[in-house]
Amino acid sequence: MKQTEFLHIVMPFKDKVFRLAKRLLVSKDEAEDATQEVILKLWQNKEAIKKYKNVEAFAMTMTKNFCFDKLKSKQAQNLKIVHSNYKDETISLQRKLEVNDALERVKKLIEALPEQQKLVIQLRDIEQYEFNEIEEMLEMKAGTIRVLLSRARKTIRQQLIQAHNYGIK
């Protein structure tokens, strides 16, 4: 069997082999490797291919067996650990709305603070500047900055607690 004849037989179902391997192995890279391995084994036994009535079914069986062997191997144990640690990082629409509402509420509370407290909380908590950098920017002592920051955080915390308790004490 020549290469062109082999490709004419194998290429129509190559994508099916890949999809089955991807379904079983999860990893795209592992599925690509499995597909290559199956096609290579078919090429090495190209003379025997003529004996099969349905080469596609034979290739799918080979793929299934190869993937199961791979999953049983020591290498696959590492794959399972990686995949079992995967967490779905998508956030539900409801949760996104809640987070956006909370952020808007905090922004409004910061805007309502006295000017110095607003400035200090912006520089420290939002912009993540260190205290010595804020001292230089605002030309204030570290103690003053800490007091302003503490008062601003306390005011915001109290107003958030009050809002979440619906004014009930």
* Same domain? 70 vs 140: no
How many Cβ atoms from other residues are within 10 Å of residue 52's Cβ? 13
* Same domain? 124 vs 143: yes
Give 69's contacts (C-beta < 8 A, 6+ positions apart): none
pLDDT value at position 76?
47
Number of compact structural domains in the chain? 2
Range of the domain at 130: 93-164
Rounded CA-CA distance 32/105 in Å is 49
Closest CA to 46 of 33, 32, 59, 64: 59
Q: How would you class 145 by CB atoms within 10 Å of its CB: exposed for 0-12, middle for 13-18, buried for 19 or more?
A: buried
pLDDT value at position 150?
96
CATH classification at residue 50: 1.10.1740.10
User: 10-residue block means of pLDDT along the chain (169 residues)?
Assistant: 86 91 86 93 88 88 88 62 55 83 89 90 86 87 94 93 72
pTM of the entire structure?
0.45
